Every structure is written in C-alpha cells, then in structure tokens.
C-alpha cells in the first residue's frame, strides 16, 4: 500500500487563468494596484503559485480573454513554456457579448438555442475556431458552458431550446480530433432564474451521450443546490462513466466560487473518502484524474486565495487517506454506524499538515508557500 506522502504526489490540480483576475459580486469589482490584468500577468501569477506549491502547473485558458487569434495563442504558448506551465482545459466563451458580429447583445437570448439563426451559427463557428487556438497552445480538452435559458415562462419553447442545443453540440463534436475530448459544464440557475437549458448533471450527461463518445460532464461542486448529495452524485457519475472532471469549489446556496473547503471542509474530506472507495472498486484512478480550482478573489490577495484552495484540497486528500478502507468496509457490513462514523471523524480531525509539509520537503518545495509568495511579485494584490 502506498504511503500518504506517495499518494499526495498523485494529486493533479488545474487552475483557471480567470482565478488570477480580481473577482466581483453582482454589484462591484474592487480592483487593486498590482492585480493581474493581462494574460501574461495572470500566467506569471500562476507560475509563482506553481513554484511555491508544486501544484497547478496545468492552467485552464479562456478565449477570447486569454487569446483572440493565432498570434496571441503563440505568445501564450511561449509564456507557458517559459514558466514551466502547461495548457489545461480550454474554455471558448460564447456567453460574453462582443462588439460587432453575431455574438453581441442578442446573446441575452442564448447562444446555441438562440431564436436568431446567425447567433446560433456564430456560436458554433466561434467554438470550432477556438479549438484551433486550443491546439495552438497544446490543450486537448474543450469545455463548454452554455448560458442559455429563460427568464419568463413564455420566453422560449423549452423543447426547441434543448433540441437546438443538442444540434449545436453535435456540430461542434464533429470538429473534435481523435486525441481530444469535450466537457460540458452546467448550472442550476444564473444568469437565467426561471429555467436554465442545462440545469443539472442528468441533462448534461444526456447531451454528452448524444454528442460524441468522448464528451463528458464537468461537475462543479459549487453548482449543487442545497440538499444535494455530492457524495452520491459523484459515485453515480463514476458508475455511468460520464464524469470528466471535478471543479472543487465552495459556495453559499450554489452561488459564488469560494476556495474549496473554506465553508464545509468536511464535505471536501467526504468527497475524497468516497473517491478513494470508488477507486478501490475500480471505478476510477485518482492519478489519472484532474481536479480544477477556480476560486474568485473578491477580497485579499488573488494568488493567496488560490493557495488557500490548494492547501485545503491537499489536507482533505491526506486526511481521507488515513481512513482504513478495509476497516471501514467491515464496520459498514456489520453494520456498525457509530464506529464507522468514529473512524471517519478520527481521520478528519487528525492534523495532517505535518505530512503535507513532509511531502513538500521531499519535493524540495517551500515548506510555507504563503511566505514564499509574499516575498515575490506573485503575491501582489
């Protein structure tokens, strides 16, 4: 059996480039001097984080925020190489309006399901063109979030809306190369508060199955509605072989992209306990999985906000590995709920930070990453 330190080395984290921009609420964005504002500044902040933690060398990129054309993509590829980073997932943005062209203010009525033919065609075309940029930076995974929905019940025919989205996804799927895959993100509400077209993982899973064999669902833990069981959903998705990636976030009422583990560290611990059990059952392989972090820093240091998410994930993963799977299975099969719960609590309440520090020392990394970041320009803002 591998040690906790050995398994910590198998934890693959990816961070969104957007997490290195100042976050905002629905009311205001409080930008500070020193906040990264260009793709180069965001990537340099990501490089500082990776150097301090040994994590998050995979950076998820967004078009058009990080690049708009082949020339800019080449520049980003050069920066990634210079900073010892690599391109992670690639997010074509078909929800933010641009000046001129089909993808303007009419996106308020949707993208792939828009009542305007030119907007539907333009959205599909933008995604397929973005895939060329994706390939130019070395990414092989496209991620789509479809913001389409309705704000009043009579606004759209829901049947037509879903049919149009499926048709658009199929056209996009044709553009995938054999070595590439696509993930479909979803959200229960926001920006549409009457009904979202892709509002749950079941709808997303159906669309994926109907689109392309490589298409999978991205599960954002912050998108789950209150009362939803993350543990059950993850296991169900693994059984169905439809889980493509997990974005680890925390939230209040499915709103906000808070660093993973800041609101409910027990949920993060349970997530990894269940994932380790699923791995033991042959449903997944954690070294082959990528966990995305996408916290939004509305206050404080941007880089330190991402660091907080990294450290919370590390400690939750390390604590989950303290649970003896055979002992837990024996207690569950008796069944002995009290002792099974005690077994989990003992692991969760163990201070595993010395183990994480030992892993850092073994890798030649700073034992105290925040100290390292505060010494350098990466902590500005």
pLDDT tens digits, one per residue of 89-136: 999 999 999 988 899 999 999 999 999 999 999 999 999 999 999 999
Domain 4-379, classified CATH 2.40.50.140, yes or no:
no
pLDDT in tens, 335-362: 999 999 999 999 999 999 999 999 999 9
Nearest CA to 13 out of 64, 41, 49, 67 is that of 49
Q: Does residue 278 contact residue 292 with C-beta atoms inside 8 Å? A: no
Contacts (Cβ under 8 Å, ≥6 apart) of 289: 12, 245, 246
Residue 293: strand pairing partners = 15
Alpha-carbon gap, residue 87 to 178, rounded angstroms = 18
Which tokens belong to 37? 């504002």
The bridge status of strand 291-293 relative to strand 255-259 is unpaired
Residue 158 has pLDDT above 60, yes or no: yes
Alpha-carbon gap, residue 348 to 316, rounded angstroms = 8
- Residue labelled with tokens 């989990």: 344
The bridge status of strand 291-293 relative to strand 243-247 is parallel
CA 223 to chain centre: 11
**Which letter, b or e, does each residue of 269-283 get, where b requires 16 or more Cβ atoms within 10 Å of its Cβ?**
bbbbbbbbbbbeeeb
Provide the 8-state DSSP code for 247.
E
Phi, psi angles (nearest 5°) of residue 144 = -115, 130
Give the pLDDT confidence score for residue 381 in this predicted structure: 44
Does the predicted TM-score (pTM) go above 0.85? yes
Residue 257 has pLDDT above 60, yes or no: yes
Give the pLDDT confidence score for residue 189 in this predicted structure: 87
- Residue labelled with tokens 């993808």: 103
Mean pLDDT value across residues 192-200: 93
Mean pLDDT score of the chain: 93
More confident residue, 275 or 225: 275
Residue 26 has pLDDT above 70, yes or no: no
CA 125 to chain centre: 24
The burial class, CB within 10 Å (0-12 / 13-18 / 19+), for 149 is buried
Mean pLDDT value across residues 219-248: 95
Alpha-carbon gap, residue 69 to 352, rounded angstroms = 45
């Amino acid at each position: 059996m591998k040690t906790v330190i050995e398994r910590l080395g198998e934890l693959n984290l990816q961070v969104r480039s957007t997490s290195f921009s100042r976050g905002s609420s629905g009311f205001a964005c409080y930008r500070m001097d020193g906040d990264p504002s260009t793709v180069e500044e965001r990537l340099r902040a990501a490089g500082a984080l990776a150097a301090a933690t040994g994590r998050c060398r995979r950076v998820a990129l967004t078009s058009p925020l990080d690049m708009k054309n082949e020339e800019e993509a080449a520049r980003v590829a050069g920066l990634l190489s210079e900073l010892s980073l690599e391109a992670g997932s690639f997010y074509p943005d078909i929800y933010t309006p641009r000046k001129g062209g089909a993808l303007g203010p009419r996106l308020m009525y949707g993208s792939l399901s828009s009542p305007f033919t030119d907007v539907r065609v333009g959205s599909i075309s933008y995604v397929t063109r973005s895939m060329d940029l994706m390939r130019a930076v070395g990414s092989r995974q496209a991620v789509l979030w479809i913001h389409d929905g309705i704000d009043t019940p009579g606004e759209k025919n829901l049947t037509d809306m879903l049919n149009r989205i499926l048709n658009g996804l199929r056209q996009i799927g044709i553009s995938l190369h054999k070595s590439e895959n696509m993930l479909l993100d979803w959200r229960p509400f926001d920006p549409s508060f009457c009904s979202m077209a892709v509002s749950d993982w079941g709808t997303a899973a159906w669309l994926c199955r109907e689109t392309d064999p490589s298409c999978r669902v991205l599960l954002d833990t912050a998108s789950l509605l209150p009362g939803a069981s993350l543990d059950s959903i993850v296991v169900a998705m693994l059984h169905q072989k439809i889980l493509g990636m997990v974005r680890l976030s925390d939230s209040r009422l499915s709103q906000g992209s808070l660093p993973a583990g800041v609101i409910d560290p027990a949920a993060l611990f349970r997530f990894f306990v269940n994932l380790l059990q699923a791995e033991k059952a042959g449903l997944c392989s954690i070294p082959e999985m990528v966990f995305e972090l996408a916290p939004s820093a509305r206050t404080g240091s941007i880089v330190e906000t991402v660091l907080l998410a990294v450290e919370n994930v590390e400690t939750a993963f390390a604590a989950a590995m303290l649970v003896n799977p055979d002992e837990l299975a024996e207690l569950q099969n008796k069944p002995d709920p009290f002792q099974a719960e005690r077994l989990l609590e003992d692991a969760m309440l163990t201070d595993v930070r010395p183990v994480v520090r030992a892993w850092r020392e073994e890798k030649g990394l700073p034992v105290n990453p925040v100290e390292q970041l505060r010494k350098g320009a990466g902590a500005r803002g």
